[in-house]
Each structure stands twice: as structure tokens, then as C-alpha cells.
Amino acid sequence: MVVFTRAVRHLLPCLLMDYLWTPWRYAYVSTAEKTTGCVFCDAVNAGDDRRVLIVHRGQHCFIILNMFPYTPGHVMIVPYAHLDELRKLPPDAAQEMMELSQRMESILRELYRPDGINLGMNIGKAAGAGIAGHIHMHVLPRWVADANFVSVVCETRILPEALEQTWKRMTAALGR
């Protein structure tokens, strides 16, 4: 019984991570008619950062809001290069990705006052990547009592902030 409980405890975060990022996949399956097949490449080339929710363009990477945020302020840091593995990312792009991660940590702390921050990548479908062909770093604020387990399990999302509002706050903070 003890072993079973431990196994469940170890398994649960993995299951959550899988559920966590899959809404991306579902959302874009239905809106991908006129695309190249990669939502990140399409977003960069759309020519309308506000509509596609890009909040920052760096030299090698850009930052985009997650259209189905796990928590308010959930962003992804994405290299312009369409690469499916982190090890393929050139050093200067990898460095900028980490610099932007640090910057987003500061901005999320300032704007959302979270208790903690999740930062991570799912590389490959087996790891839970919704967009497996184009690597991206998730950065999202967390609170001790946030209700995401319930929201994910029930497929009902509580969004205290509209994406439009998040976009405005984030672009303003990143533009400073």
C-alpha cells in the first residue's frame, strides 16, 4: 500500500504535465487550416503580434502568450528557428532563451506576485509536448492554492484575466 501511494505520488506530476500542455494541441488543430503546420512559425510570420499574442521579439527568440494559459501570465519563449530538440539550438539562441527566462521571472514576479514559478520544456510528444516540432520554454506563475488540478481535470478553466489584458500588461513591462 505504501509502495502504491508512492508510485501515485510520482506519477501524478507526470500526468499533470501531460494534461497541462495538451490544450495547445487541441486549440490549434481546429484553427490550423491555412498554416504551415507549425503554430510558432505561423505566429512569427503572421505580421500581427497583437492578434497572435506575441509580446516580445528578441534577436533569436520571441515570447508569446499561451492561448490557453495554465495560469494568468503563462508565456512561452520560442526560438525563431524551427527545431525539435534543445541540443540543436545554437549557443547564442540558447543564451538568449535563458536571459529571456530570467527576465520573464522578474516580470511575472512584479506583475502577478506569485508564490512560485514553473519553467520548463516538454521535448517530444512522449514528454507531453503539444507542439513537438518546435521547442519552446514554458514560464508561468504559480500560487500555493491555485486550482489548476481541478480546472484541468474538469476541463473548465478559470481565467481571472483576459488574454488581451495580459498582452497589454506584458508588452508594457517588456518594453520598459
Binding site for Zn ion (CB under 5 A): 38, 40-41, 82, 134
What residue is closest to Zn ion based on CB?
38
Nearest approach in angstroms of CB 134 to Zn ion is 3
Closer CB to Zn ion, 138 or 169, in the complex: 138
Nearest approach in angstroms of CB 79 to Zn ion is 9
Closer CB to Zn ion, 56 or 134, in the complex: 134
- Count Cβ atoms below 10 Å from residue 86 Cβ, excluding itself: 13
Closer CB to Zn ion, 43 or 107, in the complex: 43
- Count Cβ atoms below 10 Å from residue 120 Cβ, excluding itself: 14
Residues 83, 91: contact at Cβ < 8 Å? no
- What are the CA-CA distances from residue 117 to residues 63, 67, 85 (Å)? 16, 18, 23
Determine whether 72 is exposed, middle or buried from the number of CB atoms within 10 Å of its CB (0-12, 13-18, 19+). Answer: buried
Report the helix count and the strand count for the chain, using DSSP H and E: 6, 5
Nearest approach in angstroms of CB 57 to Zn ion is 15
Nearest approach in angstroms of CB 164 to Zn ion is 25
Closer CB to Zn ion, 28 or 112, in the complex: 28
